[in-house]
Amino acid sequence: MRDRDDVVVRAWGPGGAWALERVEALLGLDDDATDFVPRDGLVAELHRRNPGLRLGASGAVVEAAVASVVEQRVTSIEAHRSYARLVRRYGERAPGPAGAAGLMVPPVPERLRSLPYWAFHPLGIERRRADTIRRLCARATSLERIATLDAHDAQRALRCVDGVGPWTAAEVASVALGDRDAVSVGDYHLPGIVSWSLAGERDGDDARMLELLEPYRPQRARVIRLLMRGGSGPPRRAPRARLRAIERI
């Protein structure tokens, strides 16, 4: 909770001490935007309207990786639905008052590693993603150590896991490491949002997105976050795709 200019933090459970040690990074207090120079009118306006924007780092590499794998090649609605099912079925009640109110915490890697691939199917997660999750959880101890590496080396280490590509590695670097320059190449919507917002171009691809973001290096993730908060994508040409129900296949 916030007390005037201070943030008062309380933690419960076996991970409480670890969380307290990382609270500054989690809140983005380690984030440095002093060298950020908006080079576009929209970015400048969004930066002005969001003076408190901070890029936090959870430090929880495997937790972020599992959530990112669930999001691979499906819509956000499908991914959020599957992840919620995963947490409700295999997670645990959170310690402290929030847990008493019903909050759940994600399942521990040991639990997910022990599940057969078909246990994920009723959650809306097919075998390919399920196997990737299980591989990540089998290497949980070594993967958590990459939180001490720089972002480039951390992403390279993540991509050594079969099923983890550039998009997933960038998503994990952004969430777990607070990487200010992470760009999720391979995202379905992001190239369109960046190209439309920064250049008014409708059919942007990954190459064009990277070209437009290059002047903002090493703060490209900040620009993306600003555009996600206040930018827009090109007008739709067709209705939304129908949602799939993988668990019914």
Structural domain boundaries in the chain: 61-177
User: In 126-165, which ranges are continuous DSSP H helix?
Assistant: 127-138, 140-144, 151-158
Query: What percent of the chain is helix, strand and coil (3-state, nearest 5)?
Result: 55, 5, 40
DSSP letter for 233, please: P
pLDDT at 146: 95
Q: Which residues of the chain have pLDDT under 70?
A: 1-4, 238, 241
**CATH fold for the domain made of 61-177:** Endonuclease III; domain 1 (1.10.340)
Distance between first and last Cα of the chain: 45
pLDDT tens digits for 153-167? 999 999 999 999 999
Instruction: Give the pLDDT score at 13.
Output: 93
Query: What pLDDT does residue 1 have?
Result: 60
List pLDDT tens digits, range 17-50.
999 999 999 999 999 898 899 999 999 999 999 9
